[in-house]
Amino acid sequence: MNAIILDTETTDKKDGEVIELAWAEWDILTCGMSEPVVTKYKPAKPTTWGALAVHHILPEELEGCFPSSSAPEDVPQHAAYWIGHNIDFDWKALGSPPQVKRICTLALARAHFPDLDSHTQSALMYALFGATPATRDRLKGAHSAGEDIKMCADILQVIVIRLGVKNLSQLWEASEDARVPKIMTFGKFAGQPISAVDRGYSNWYRRQPDPDPYLLEAFKREGI
């Protein structure tokens, strides 16, 4: 197994504990996915109302489950690639293992479908597969980790065909390239092309405690 698609639901939309994990093996040659493995966990702290409103996993459903601290151990340790929609969120929730190569379908969708007004999985499902009752019925399971990875696999297949990539290394490289921003999203240059940023600002950003490596790469490509 070289690649898995995975998704987590957590106690908080930011830095939360994993309360549901779903993963499945994925084959780039066939774009086929194995049957998802879905596991629930009991967290040490309560779920926020905002997170509960997204995934609807009630505290009582987690009684008797293994602790959320055990979730990272349930991810196949020999999977070299993790694939997901905003995969960094799941990667961080699962302990940020440094050896894993992350493939982000959100970044790929933003790069290769730039004219869409939204790149959430639900919006992409409608845009790519039609505003039909069948698509709407599939989306009723959105924000359940098991259903989310199935939709991610469908979106990924469209992206793979569009890019014409033949192996995981090529897909990962496309994902890495898609992550490099072309437009500033914050600060005095917000909304402007990266090329508009002056060297003074880029040097200031480099001195920040936790700079985004992909923004640093964007500065490097522009020579600033």
Tell me: the pLDDT tens digits for 69-115?
999 999 998 899 999 999 999 999 999 999 999 999 999 999 999 99
DSSP 154: H
Buried b (16+ CB within 10 A) or exposed e, 44-60: eeebeeebbeebebeee
**Alpha carbon 113 to chain centroid distance?**
16
Using DSSP, state whether 18 is helix, strand or coil: strand
pLDDT at residue 4 tops 90: yes
Confidence of residue 211 (pLDDT cuts 50, 70, 90): very high
pLDDT, one tens digit per residue, over 23-68 is: 999 999 999 999 999 999 999 999 999 999 999 999 999 999 999 9
Q: Is 30 exposed, middle or buried (0-12, 13-18, 19+ CB in 10 A)?
A: exposed
Predicted confidence at residue 13, as pLDDT, reads 87
Amino acid at 83: I
Predicted confidence at residue 113, as pLDDT, reads 95
Beta strands in 15-122 (DSSP E): 18-27, 32-33, 37-42, 66-67, 81-84, 101-104
Confidence of residue 141 (pLDDT cuts 50, 70, 90): confident
Average pLDDT over residues 181-189: 93
pLDDT, one tens digit per residue, over 142-180 is: 888 999 999 999 999 999 999 999 999 999 999 999 999
Confidence of residue 1 (pLDDT cuts 50, 70, 90): low
d(CA 196, CA 182): 10
Domain ranges within the chain, ordered by starting residue: 3-179, 187-222
Select 3-179's CATH number: 3.10.580.10, 3.30.2130.30, 3.90.320.10, 3.30.420.10.
3.30.420.10
Q: Record the pTM.
A: 0.91
